[in-house]
Amino acid sequence: MRYEALSLSVPYGKLNALKVQLGLTVDALAELAPYRKAFIENSRAFSGYFYEVFMGIPDTRKIIEGLEDPQSLKDAWANWFRTVFMLELDENFLAYLWRIGIRHVEVNLDQRYTNLGFSVVRQFCRQVIEKEVPPSSAARVTFVIDKILDLCLLVETSAFIEASSRCDIEIIKGIADRIRNPITIIGGNLKRIQKLLDAKDPSYCVVEDIIAQSSRCESMVADIKTYVDMFQKESYPVKISLPDLVRLVLDELSEKKYAQKVNVETSLDPLASSIEADPPDIKAAFYQVLENAFEAAAANPAPSVRIASGPYRAPFNAVKITIFNSGIPPRAEDMEKLFSLFYSTKPGGSGFGLPIARLAVRKNLGRITLEPLPGEGTRVTIVLPKG
């Protein structure tokens, strides 16, 4: 199976931004220009040097000795070294590096060896500099080469991480897709069977319990799909009215029975009335947090939820939103687990509510924290860029 993740398009915008941040300007590359030929002519020497280093490591030695044609590996290393010094740092070069990172995922290469490999490359380059570059230019050339190798490592690692993450997500999504229909069919048939039973029949309660567990599975599959879709989708932040967003989510939750008995108070500061975020992402985040708040508050004799907002200017212009509920606060031992996938303190919970909220908030350059208030309830704080 070839995962869709392994055909990811090259994110040229992000990669070019890395190049700029590293200071790889035309002037900087000009420092290297007189010595490119010396490095290119050493490409075969580099592959031999690289080969000896990795033959000296037991694990990588086994991999190399297991190849049908070890020479092809030497050729590939020599070509890589030659390409680094032949090509300008244009989009063709960035695409070349990106494909290497994807290839490392395909062959299941341990990323630690990639990192070690770049350390070996730097060592070899310093040897070439000592032999081929005048002392007066050595420091500047070393600086430029270090920056080029930093770019190579960052691009290859970015491709590796993104493709690996996408593969993992595709596996989870595939499992969820495969079990969704069977679970729905099982739940539907159980409800039909229950209708044929007398409520006093002992089997009635058994079937009811199975239906409840089936519904929990359906809910978990739906939450997995929400999480996966959000993970894979790019965010497109726009200016969003915070009062409108809160009103929309509260209207949807008002249909829930447990929410209908909860007293809701809102106090949204006019100076913090808009945020910048992706609408579907941030709506999902607020829905999950407020749903948890209503469920927790509903168990309190005086159920209440308070939503407030205000300006937040550190470390950047932002809006702080707090959502308080009067329910029993989480135990201290549960705090570190609450944002973990599949972990839930609620009977029938999927364990995806807070992870979905955190993913959405982080994607939109914000942060979310949860604070137990003993004797009072729980407060969730969300900080997002100001719209």
- Residue 69 has, within 13 A of its CA and on its CB side, a CA count of 5
If pLDDT is split at 50, 70 and 90, which confidence band does 172 have? low
Could you give the percent of the chain with pLDDT greater than 90?
A: 31
Sketch the domain layout of the chain as residue ranges.
4-168, 177-232, 238-385
Angle at 173 between CA 167 and CA 250, to 5 degrees: 125
**What average pLDDT does this structure show over 362-374?**
88
If pLDDT is split at 50, 70 and 90, which confidence band does 5 have? very low
Fold classification of 238-385 (topology level)? Heat Shock Protein 90 (3.30.565)
Q: For 224-255, write each residue's pLDDT tens digit.
A: 777 777 776 778 889 999 999 999 999 998 88
Q: For 191-204, write each residue's pLDDT tens digit.
A: 888 888 888 888 88
Say which residue the tokens 């944002």 belong to.
339
Map 300-339 to HEC letters: CCCCEEEEEEEEECCCCCEEEEEEEECCCCCCHHHHHHCC
**What average pLDDT does this structure show over 272-276?**
90
Q: How far apart are CA 381 and CA 331, in angstroms?
A: 18
If pLDDT is split at 50, 70 and 90, which confidence band does 63 have? confident
Sign of the Cα torsion 77, 117, 88, 98 reads: positive
Q: For 148-171, write each residue's pLDDT tens digit.
A: 999 999 998 888 877 776 666 666
Q: Which CATH number fits domain 4-168: 3.40.50.720, 3.40.50.970, 1.10.490.10, 2.40.30.10?
A: 1.10.490.10
If pLDDT is split at 50, 70 and 90, which confidence band does 7 have? low
Question: Which of the pair, 76 or 220, is modelled with greater confidence?
Answer: 76
> What 3-state DSSP class applies to 5?
helix
Which two tokens mark 248? Answer: 């929309």
